Amino acid sequence: MSVNITSTSIQSFLETRRDNFGDSQQLKRLYTAELFIDDIIDDVTIVIRYRPDEYPEWTEWATLIFCASVSQCLPPQNPKFICSVWKTKRGTYAARVMLTTPSEVINKLRGGYLSSGYEFQFRMEITGHCRLRKWLPQGEIDDDKSEGEITQNPQCISFPACDLDIFSYSSYGMNVEYSGIAVIPNGASGGIVTGLGLGFQPSNISVDVIIPNTDSLVLTVNSTNSLSPDGFTYVLSGMTDSPCYKLSYTLKM
């Protein structure tokens, strides 16, 4: 009995949230992006697409091809030997692969080029095995209108396109936050809030000290450290003089 095994590359894709490069009001133009990948096995093809603002269709930016001389073993011809799952060769990597400036494709809805916009979303279509480590798109300030205009007779535009919104997610990302109140021990100059068990990694925190009405001591939080899904540490500007002080906090993703 003979068995034929065929190796087939798996196709996957990744869509980023919209990126405004830190300024939602400034018109930008894409000019490059940097890609870092590793764990390349066999042949890998990555097609990178983008779309500006609320444009309904993806536009291809670049197609990248990588390869490595390592793959899964084929069954040996001699049945006395057992094939190891992986050869001793290692996968390769590609660091700081820089994309060229996007082609000048006309924006069918607002005019100008599709590489110009206020924010951009990106899509990577990957065929084969690899790991995406970093994706760093870069833009530069583009010329924008300085005055508004009123269109008296707007022209209706027909825009047929495939509906690619397979999943019910928001490309703007989620506004995830968690708020709570912790008791500050009497005589403490700081402390630890722990045991939160959040489902996200917080990147920002706002804190405030709730002072009892019967006390005139003013306390503030000097610093917070060690943000994690489990909690954080904090340092006060002084020491509490009663057990009635509390810490109000809000953690954001």
DSSP string, 39-107: EEEEEEEEEEEEEETT-SS-EEEEEEEEE-S--BPPPPSSTTSPPPSB-S---EEEEEEEPPPPP--B-
Which of 51, 165, 59 lies closest to 117 in space, CA to CA? 51
pLDDT 10s digits, 211-236: 877 666 677 787 777 888 888 888 88
pLDDT at 159: 75
Expressed in angstroms, the distance from the first to the final Cα of the chain is 57
- Tokens, residue 119: 């924010």
The label of the residue with tokens 């494709």 reads 105
Q: What is the pLDDT of residues 105-158, one digit of tens each?
A: 999 888 899 999 999 999 999 999 999 999 999 999 998 877 777 766 767 777
155-to-109, 151, 173 alpha-carbon distances in Å: 10, 9, 32
**Domain boundary assignment for the chain:** 11-141, 177-252
**Neighbouring residues of 64: CB distance < 8 A, sequence distance ≥ 6:** 35, 45, 46, 47, 48, 97
What is the CATH architecture of 11-141?
Answer: Sandwich (2.60)
- pLDDT of the residue at 86: 47
pLDDT tens, position by position, 65-114 = 999 888 755 455 554 444 555 445 677 899 999 999 999 999 988 889 99
Output the pTM of the full model: 0.61
What is the C-alpha to C-alpha distance for residues 18 and 117, in angstroms, rounded to an integer? 11
Quote the pLDDT of residue 176: 72
Question: Average pLDDT in the 48-77 region?
Answer: 84
- Per CATH, the architecture of 177-252 is what? Sandwich (2.60)
Q: How far apart are CA 87 and CA 75, in angstroms?
A: 12
Contact call for residues 42 and 9 (beta carbons, < 8 A): yes
b/e burial code for range 105-123 (CB count within 10 A of at least 16 → b):
eebeeeebbbbbbbbbbbb
Both tokens of 142, joined, read: 């583009």
CB 110 within 8 A of CB 101: no
